[in-house]
Amino acid sequence: MIDFLLEIGVEDFPPGILGRTGHFLSSQLENLFKTKKIFYRSIRTIYTPRRIGTIILGVARRQKPQVLEIQGPPKKMAYDENGEPSLTLKSFMKSRNFKANEIVVKRLKKGEYIFGQKEQPGELTEDILYQELPKIVKGLEFPRTMVWNESRVRFPRPIRWIVALLDRRPIRFEYAGVKADRYTMPNFHFSFKPIRLEKPREYINFLRHGGVVVDPNERRKLILSRIKQTAAKLGGTPVFGDEMIDELNATTEYPEVVGDEFDPDYLELPGEVLNTVLKAHGNLIWIKDSNKFICVFSAKKKAIQNVQQGYKRVMQARLFDALFYYKKDIKQGLNKMQEQTKGMMWLKDLGSIYEKTRRLVKLAAQFDSIPNLNIDALTRAAELCKADLCSMIVREKEFTSLQGIMGGYYAKFQGEDDLVARIIQEHYRPITIGDGLPETDEAKVLSLCDKLDNVTGAFISGNLPTGSYDPLAVRRNGYGVINLLDHIDSGLSLFKLIERLEKLYNRPVPVSTIKDFFRERLTRYLQNRGFRYDEINAVLETWSGDVADVHKRCEALKGFRNHRDFTQLIIGQKRLRNILKDITAFKEIDKTLFKESAEKLLYEKGQEISAALEPLYQTGNYTEILKLLLSLRPQIDKFFDDVLVMCEEEDLKNNRLALINFINKIFLQFADLSKIVIEG
């Protein structure tokens, strides 16, 4: 058994796609080994900012032996009357070079046939790799690539060396103008001298000496444990998320960690600002509520002093800027900033930011029916919520993500109510699809209004999302609207809100397109909540704009799946639907035209259920509603058993169709259950 190493040496790779690329490369190699039937014991993904690769241990020198099988003549032609090989068989054996012990008989559909079978040694692993490796590198896909030399090969960053070593032999394939060999490069902080590898097993240790920890898992652990150690020494809680560690892991070859302090004068700044500055300048990790921080870097240990001093210098210059802006903003006050929003355009032709907030105030007023909602605070917050866009700090590219948060602070400084400040601070949430919602109902309402206005504005101005292109994040905003409506107990229809907005814009709004968009968003939302596509489809068929209500109906329908008569319920409406198909116009039901008792019974049962359903809809008791709908089933079945709907008498036929429609409508009031897929 031998080992194999592939390493693609690059100039510093984009950290966002590094891990993904490393794992994809490994999985492609794994596939290659499996489909080519080359045995191996273990496979390990490696990546650092400057290399992507795979180590495969315990590799076979050759493919597994291949069985060659060739069909020959039919058995009856292969032997003469004495059971001796015929001329036909002999010439088959001779032409294909089969010996007597390699001949077998197999039964096929068309009779028994002669087959020649023999084992052939597999191809050399080396030869296969030489052929396939360039294809594998070429097959990697990336969102953004570049050209750097005459080969015009595209890759995210230039490829500068390739190591392809099988045991002691390099596999010298060529890609992007680079010939694969046995030389890798150390961390440039340590040396520029290429490292010669005799065999793959030397790789990890030789590189460790060259200042590179090649295994990303090992590096991650190292980073985390060193952060914890340093934090313990500094005394405090480091503020970081998984994402930050991933990025540090993807930007360091040899992680070292050092802790330090910045000038305590900057503690005057809000924690969010401190954290943002630290993060933006090299993913520095803030020790919560202190002037301490941790720096993860990738260099030699003896660089510590310079690194400490350097990062601190840059970061403090930025804190200097931030504090300067912050003080100016406070001095100016949120009211003045609000005034300035009159001069800040929102979307093309859609007026200013100020006008947007005027719409938000009016739209938010629609929610005054929510019990205990502080409408005064909500209104005030809606007026002020965008003012911080004109603050000096939020206008800086680095701090745009602090919109809302800064507004909250500035609101407090000018003596606004605490709740007002809180609403402003929270009103952008949920920012991402998985983000939490604001805690206060008032902020939920404001966030909802803002997002709905964003979506509507985007549709009016023609900034529709297409494919992966969605510059105004219309989809995310739309999802947020659904999420928020589901969590605000308002009973308000989304459609009504859109119509209200249309009036506020006082210009044509593509209402039906927007409704379709939200239908799609709602579908996605419910799917993420674990509902099946057919359940969602059934319920949305009768959607009138109430999001929370649709969610409840899905819940009930899903719960009812476990009911032993669930299938019966669904088949009930399916039978009705099958008859009605495309018929849309119906006559009034004429009781005098009922001929069979089954007609009368179904009608009376329908009336009874209809009346019983009404109070249940008032309270939204959907499980009970489903039970009542199910109780229609015997009368439906009897009707179809006893009555011929499509009879010759036009009167009777129309009356029966009207009756079926009446019953179907009782179902439709809940959902179109005929859309449910029944398995088996």
Provide CB contacts within 8 A for 98, sequence distance 6+.
70, 92, 116, 118
Among 274, 295, 373, 569, binds another protein (CB under 8 A): 295
Query: Binding another protein by CB under 8 A: which of 121, 343, 462, 491?
Result: 343
Q: How far is CA 398 from CA 81, 332, 394, 658, in A?
A: 93, 21, 8, 66
**What's at 108, amino acid-wise?**
L
Q: Of 232 and 317, which CB lies nearer to another protein in the complex structure?
A: 317
The C-alpha R_g of the chain, in whole angstroms, comes to 36
Residue closer to another protein, measured from CB, 460 or 526: 460
Q: What residues between 165 and 184 interact with another protein by CB under 8 A?
A: 177
The least CB distance from residue 312 to another protein, in Å, is 8
Binding residues for another protein, rule CB under 8 A, total: 47
Mind spelling out the 3-state secondary structure of 595-648?
A: CCHHHHHHHHHHHHHHHHHHHHHHHCCHHHHHHHHHCCHHHHHHHHHHCCCCCC
344 vs 579 by CB, closer to another protein: 344
- C-alpha closest to that of 9 among 53, 54, 56: 53
Q: Determine if 620 is a binding residue for another protein (CB under 8 A).
A: no
**Token reading at 561:** 């799946």
Question: CB within 8 A of 59, min separation 6: which ones?
Answer: 1, 2, 3, 4, 33, 38, 39, 40, 41, 125, 166
Least separation in angstroms between residue 283's CB and another protein is 10
- Alpha-carbon torsion angle 300, 305, 308, 314, nearest 10: -100
Peptide bond into 430 cis (omega under 30): yes
CB of 451 to another protein, least distance (A): 21
**Dist. CA 312–CA 295, nearest whole Å:** 9
Residue 74 or 177: the one with the smaller Cβ distance to another protein is: 177
Q: How far is the CB of 15 from another protein (least distance, A)?
A: 6
Give the three-state DSSP class for 3: strand
Phi then psi dihedrals of residue 343, to 5 deg:
-95, 5
In the complex, least distance from residue 195 CB atom to another protein, rounded to whole angstroms:
15
Residue 173 CB, nearest approach to another protein (Å): 18
Site for another protein in 264-293 (CB under 8 A): 281-282
> Between 47 and 517, whose beta carbon lies closer to another protein?
47
- Would you say 96 or 313 has its CB closer to another protein? 313
Which CB atom, from 18 or from 663, has the smaller least distance to another protein? 18
Residue placing its CB nearer to another protein in the complex, 286 or 297: 297
> Which residue among 149, 225, 369, 607 contacts another protein (CB under 8 A)?
149
Structure tokens at 564: 């032993």
Task: Please provide residue 195's backbone torsions phi and psi, each rounded to the nearest 5 degrees.
Answer: -105, 125
Q: Is 34 in the site for another protein (CB under 8 A)?
A: no
- The Cα–Cα gap between 303 and 256 comes to 10
Q: State which of residues 72, 156, 545, 606 lies at the interface with another protein (CB under 8 A).
A: 156
Nearer to another protein, 312 or 551 (CB): 312
Q: Is 103 in the site for another protein (CB under 8 A)?
A: no
Comparison of 120 and 149: residue with beta carbon closer to another protein: 149
The span from the CA of 73 to the CA of 87, in Å, is 11
Say whether residue 146 binds another protein (CB under 8 A).
yes
189 forms part of the interface with another protein (CB under 8 A): yes
Say whether residue 302 binds another protein (CB under 8 A): yes
How big is the chain, counted in residues? 680
**What does the longest C-alpha to C-alpha distance in the chain come to?**
114
- Strands 2-10 and 42-48 come out as unpaired
Among 74-82, 310-318, 456-464, 495-503, the segment contacting another protein (CB under 8 A): 310-318
Short-list 444, 539, 546, CA closest to 496: 546
Listed ranges 236-244, 294-302, 545-553, 661-669: which one lies at the site for another protein (CB under 8 A): 294-302
Tokens of 264: 């305590």
Among 74, 85, 134, 158, binds another protein (CB under 8 A): 158
Considering only 45, 48, 184, 251, the residue that binds another protein (CB under 8 A) is 251
Contact string (CB under 8 A) for another protein, positions 36-55, x = contact:
-------------x------
| Residue 99 is a binding residue for another protein (CB under 8 A) | no
DSSP string spanning 31-71?
Answer: HHHHHTT---SEEEEEEETTEEEEEEEEE-SBPPPEEEEEE
Contact flag: residue 348 with another protein (CB under 8 A): yes
In whole angstroms, the minimum distance from the beta carbon of 205 to another protein comes to: 20
Of the candidate spans 134-142, 225-233, 315-323, 420-428, the one that interacts with another protein by CB under 8 A turns out to be 315-323
Shorter beta-carbon distance to another protein: residue 307 or 626? 307
**Residue 109: Cβ within 10 Å count:** 4
* Cα 59 from Cα 2, distance rounded (Å): 5
Q: Between 151 and 567, whose beta carbon lies closer to another protein?
A: 151
CB of 268 to another protein, least distance (A): 17
Which structure tokens are listed for 314? Answer: 């840059």
- DSSP string across 334-363: HHHHHHHGGGSB-STTS-BHHHHHHHHHHH
Residue 306 lies near another protein (rule: CB under 8 A): yes
Specify the residue, 320 or 533, whose C-beta has the smaller distance to another protein. 320
Q: Where do the DSSP E strands lie in 236-393? A: 238-239, 255-261, 285-287, 292-298
Binding segment toward another protein, per CB under 8 A, in 134-142, 343-351, 463-471, 603-611: 343-351
Q: Which stretch binds another protein (CB under 8 A): 90-98, 320-328, 420-428, 444-452?
A: 320-328
- Using DSSP bridges, classify how beta strands 66-74 and 111-120 pair: parallel, antiparallel or unpaired: antiparallel
Instruction: State both tokens at 323.
Output: 């504090």
Q: How far apart are the first and last CA of the chain?
A: 51
Q: Does 192 bind another protein (CB under 8 A)?
A: yes
Q: Of 10-18, 525-533, 615-623, 663-671, which segment contacts another protein by CB under 8 A?
A: 10-18
Residue type, 227: I
Which parts of this chain interact with another protein (CB under 8 A)? 11-12, 14-16, 49, 144, 146-150, 156-158, 160, 177, 188-190, 192, 251, 281-282, 295, 297-300, 302-303, 306-307, 309-311, 313-315, 317, 320-321, 324, 343-345, 348
